[in-house]
Structure 1
Amino acid sequence: MSFLDDFKTRNFSLYGQWSGILTIIICLAVGIASIFTFSVGIIIFAAVCLATGLTLIFVEIPFLGRICPISENFTNFTRRFNNNVPRAGFYFLLALVQWFSLFVRASSLIVAAVFLTITSFCYALAAVKKQEFATSSALGGAGFAQQII
Structure 2
Amino acid sequence: MTIAEEFKSRNFSIYGQWYALNLKPLSMYIPFGIISIIYSPILLFIEVPFLLRICPTSSKFDAFIRRFTTNFMRAIVYGAMSAGLWLSLIIGTSALIAPAVVLAIAAFFYLVAGLMKQEFTGSKTLGGQGVAQMIV
Q: Which residue of 1 aligns with 2:6?
A: none
Structure 1 counterpart of 2:134, one-letter code: Q
Distance 2:41 2:108 in 1: 21
Q: Which residue of 2 aligns with 1:143?
A: 130
Structure 2 counterpart of 1:91, one-letter code: Y
The structure having more radius of gyration, on CA atoms, is 2
Q: Which residue of 1 aligns with 2:15?
A: none
> Runs (4+) of structure 1 moved beyond 4 Å?
none
Task: Structure 1: give runs of 5+ residues left out of the alignment.
Answer: 1-35
Greater RCO (Cα-Cα under 8 Å, separation 6 or more): 1
1:40 corresponds to which of 27, 32, 56: 27
**Corresponding pairs, count:** 114
**Higher helix share goes to which structure?**
1
Structure 1 counterpart of 2:39, one-letter code: T
TM-score normalised by structure 1 residue count: 0.73
3-state secondary structure, aligned to 1:138: coil
Distance 1:104 1:118 in 2: 23
Task: Structure 2: give runs of 5+ residues left out of the alignment.
Answer: 1-19
1:46-69 Cα deviation digits (max 9, x unpaired) = 010000012111111000011100
Shift of 1:105: 1.5
Structure 1 counterpart of 2:133, one-letter code: Q
Report whether the alignment pairs 1:73 with 2:43.
no
Q: Which residue of 2 aligns with 1:83?
A: 70
* C-alpha RMSD of the superposition: 1.3
